[in-house]
Structure 1
Amino acid sequence: MAVAVAVTHRLPPLIVGSSIPNPSPESVALYAVGGRFVSFVLIYGLLLGVTVAVGRRGSTEGDGATVLATGVVAAVAYLGASAALLFVLDPRPVLVNAVAGVGSAVGVGVRLAVVAFAGLALSERV
Structure 2
Amino acid sequence: MIVPGLEIKQSIGMTREKNDKGDAKRIALYSYEKRDRLEPHVPSSESTVKLKRLFSLRERMVKQRAGYKMSLKEQSEILSKTENKLLLKVQKELIKYLTKEIDIIEKEIKTIVTEDEGLKNQYELIT
TM-score calculated relative to the size of structure 1: 0.37
Structure holding more helix per residue: 1
TM-score calculated relative to the size of structure 2: 0.37
Which of the two has higher C-alpha Rg?
Answer: 2
